[in-house]
Structure formats: C-alpha cells, structure tokens
Structure 1
Amino acid sequence: MDFTIILIVLAVIAFIVIAINNSIITAYNSTKRSWADVNTYERQKVNILDSLTPIVSQYISYESETLKHITALRQSIVSLDGATPDGASLEKIQAQTEQVLKGLSVTVENYPDLKANTVYLDLMKQITSQNENVGAAITIFNRNVEIFNSKIETFPTNVVNGFLAKKQRINEFKDSTAEKNIEFKPNF
C-alpha cells in the first residue's frame, strides 16, 4: 500500500514536471513563430520594393540617393535572420524604411506626374501597410517574449527549465528611436 502511494506521488510529480517542461517549450516555440512572422512581413516589403524600383528609377535619374536607400533596405531585409530574434537588425530596417519613405515623398514633390501614377501610389500604400503589419507582429513578438521570459524566470518553471529545457532569456524588441521621443520613464 505504501509503495503504491509512493508510485502515485512520483507519477504525479513526473506528470507535473513534464507539463511544465512542455509549457516552456510551447512558449519558446510561440516566440520563435512570432519572430518568423516579423521576418515574413519584412520580407514581403522586398516584393514591393522590387516593383517600386523600376517605377521610381524612371523619375529619379537625378535622385540616385533614393534608389541607393531602396537597394540598401532591400538587402537589409533579405539578410534578416528568420530563425534568431535580432532586434538591432530590425531596428536598422525600420529606420531604413522610414528613410526610404521620406526620400520617396521628396521625389513625389519633385516629380508631380509621379504622384498621378496609380501603380506608384498603390505600392506606397502597400509599403505603409507592411510597416503596420510589422508593428503589429513586433507587438505579438514582444508579448510572446514576455510570456516566455516569465515562464523561465518564475518558480517552479525556472527549476524545470534549469534541469530539462535549458532555454535562455530572449530580449524583446525595443525601438530606441521611439523611446527617445517619450519623456515618461517608468521607475522599474
């Protein structure tokens, strides 16, 4: 009878440990998937940039700087690693996107007939939409990072993680440009 109780207690403990380990792995995989979503939305911009380049190049034979920015942005997006969260590279891509959008706005001002080009306008809307998608995906990524980090840092999941999963903390994406414009700083 005592042996049966001991076996039942051990089985319950084993089940709890397995469930905790599985929850850590699930949270980790959710974080990886949400990073892949961020990467996917960024890469979708490449298709838009590929369509935009010939249109803009017709109008900007003297505006080679904008074309260089488009090419640099495209290359940065292509080199973004979809498997490993890289906030620094993503921040660089976001800054480059803003620079391209500003350059394209100046180009439109210099070439009013470009403003009437419906393909151009559609591509600009698509880039803006993709930026909004990236922002939403970053929000989801950061939420998943918070959940994952909380799991591996709180008891008893931290103990199980230390012995079984051995997952490391993941850094959330921080937009340093946006943070510079916010005066409020919480005290934590």
Structure 2
Amino acid sequence: MEWFFVALAIIIVIVILWAIAQYNRLITLRNLVQEAWRQIDVELQRRHDLIPNLVETVKGYAKHERETLEAVIQARSVAVEPGSSHAQQAKQENVLSQALGRLFALAENYPDLKANQNFLELQRELADTEDRLAASRRIYNANVRSMNTKVETFPTSVVAGMFSITREDYFEVQDAAVRQTPNVQF
C-alpha cells in the first residue's frame, strides 16, 4: 500500500511540474507577442511622425487637393489615439494606408512635386518604414500563431484556461483592394 502512495505522489509531482512548465511557456509566448506588438508600435510612431512633413510638402504643390490631404491628416489623427485594441489599431492603420495611397496617387499629377528632393526623401523614408512595418507584422503574427496554438491545443489549453490566458488577435489587412491581384497591362 505504501508503494501506491509513493507512486501517486510521484505522478502528482510530475503533473505539477508539467503544469508549471506549460504555464511558463505560455507566459513566454505572451511576452513575445507583446514585444512584437511594441515593435509594430515603434514603426507606426515613425510612420505617424513622417506623415505631417509629407502632407506639408504636398500642400505647397497641390493646394486644391484639400480633400485628400485632410483625409490623410484625419486618418493619422485617429491612428495615433491611444487606448485602441490591437484589432482596432490594425483597422485604423489600414485606413491610414489607404489615405496615403491616395496621396501618392495624387502626387503623380504634379511633376514638380515628384521631382522635389524633400518629397522624394520623405517618400523613401515612408517606404522604408512600411517595409519595416511589414516585417514587424510578420514577426508579430508568427508569435500570435505560436501563442494561439499553445492556448488552443490540449492539454496546454487546460493550463491556459486555469490562468485565463486567451488567444491573441492577428494583425490583418482589412482592405480588399490590397488583397486583389494587380492588373498589369503593357
């Protein structure tokens, strides 16, 4: 009978050690997701800082294109508001991306603007920032995938449920136009 209690104690210790290891892994994954989100935040802030300079440069050349410029400024104002969830911020950033796309399309109508060094430099910096943002989003989404897989698969899901560790949201493109294949004509 004594060996039964020893075996039971060993099994309980193993289960407790396993639960602790799974909990620690979930916390590590949650911290990786949060770190990845902070990197996105850094790149978004850089993007938000570049936009006013870009708008001011364009204003001098495209004075009668007020609606497009105001749309960019409004989208930026909404995007920089604190307190948004990851999903809300992703939607706000998608609106800003669309407004910036219209701004760059507008610039095509002004050859002098396209040749302006300040505009070209801002456009290049914004393109670099967009590339870094895309890389940060990929890292974030990879971390979210790992986290969600752990949270949803058994038996780790039991530990996640015990400690209220939940799924994270992916950073997704909401704009249907971005998802479409471009039409190329020669």
> 1-side partners of 2:69 and 2:75: how far apart?
10
By how many angstroms is 1:32 displaced? 2.0
* Structure-1 residue corresponding to 2:21: 19
By how many angstroms is 1:21 displaced? 0.5
Amino acid corresponding to residue 61 of structure 1 in structure 2: K
1:72 matched to 2:74: yes
By how many angstroms is 1:100 displaced? 2.0
Is the Cα–Cα contact under 8 Å of residues 150 and 156 in structure 2 kept in the other structure?
yes
Q: How many aligned positions are there? A: 178
> 2-side partners of 1:39 and 1:100: how far apart?
18
Is the Cα–Cα contact under 8 Å of residues 31 and 144 in structure 1 kept in the other structure?
yes
Give RMSD over aligned pairs: 2.4
Equivalences for 1:150-161 in 2 at 5 Å? 150-161=149-160
> 2-side partners of 1:101 and 1:25: how far apart?
38
SS at match of 2:86: coil
Q: Which string of whole-angstrom CA distances, capped at 9 and with x for unpartnered residues, describes residues 154-187 of structure 1? A: 1111111122x211222323324268527xxxxx
> 2-side partners of 1:95 and 1:101: how far apart?
10
CA shift in 2, pair 1:53/1:103, >3 Å: closer
CA shift in 2, pair 1:98/1:179, >3 Å: closer
SS at match of 1:174: coil
TM-score between both structures, scaled by the size of structure 1: 0.80
Is the Cα–Cα contact under 8 Å of residues 29 and 147 in structure 2 kept in the other structure?
yes
> 2-side partners of 1:131 and 1:179: how far apart?
14
Q: Which string of whole-angstrom CA distances, capped at 9 and with x for unpartnered residues, describes residues 83-121 of structure 1? A: x422x44134224323323323323423x2222211110
* Structure-2 residue corresponding to 1:137: 136
Q: Which string of whole-angstrom CA distances, capped at 9 and with x for unpartnered residues, describes residues 28-57 of structure 1? A: 121122222222211211111122232222
Equivalences for 1:74-113 in 2 at 5 Å? 74-79=76-81, 81=83, 84-86=85-87, 88-110=88-110, 112-113=111-112
Amino acid corresponding to residue 44 of structure 2 in structure 1: E
Which blocks of at least 5 consecutive residues in structure 2 are unaligned? 182-186
Is the Cα–Cα contact under 8 Å of residues 90 and 172 in structure 2 kept in the other structure?
no
* Structure-2 residue corresponding to 1:40: 42
Amino acid corresponding to residue 47 of structure 2 in structure 1: K
Which blocks of at least 5 consecutive residues in structure 1 are unaligned? 183-188
> 1-side partners of 2:171 and 2:112: how far apart?
39
Amino acid corresponding to residue 147 of structure 1 in structure 2: S
Is the Cα–Cα contact under 8 Å of residues 55 and 120 in structure 1 kept in the other structure?
yes
TM-score between both structures, scaled by the size of structure 2: 0.81
* Structure-2 residue corresponding to 1:124: 123
By how many angstroms is 1:69 displaced? 2.1
SS at match of 1:103: helix
> 2-side partners of 1:179 and 1:167: how far apart?
33
* Structure-1 residue corresponding to 2:184: none
* Structure-2 residue corresponding to 1:149: 148
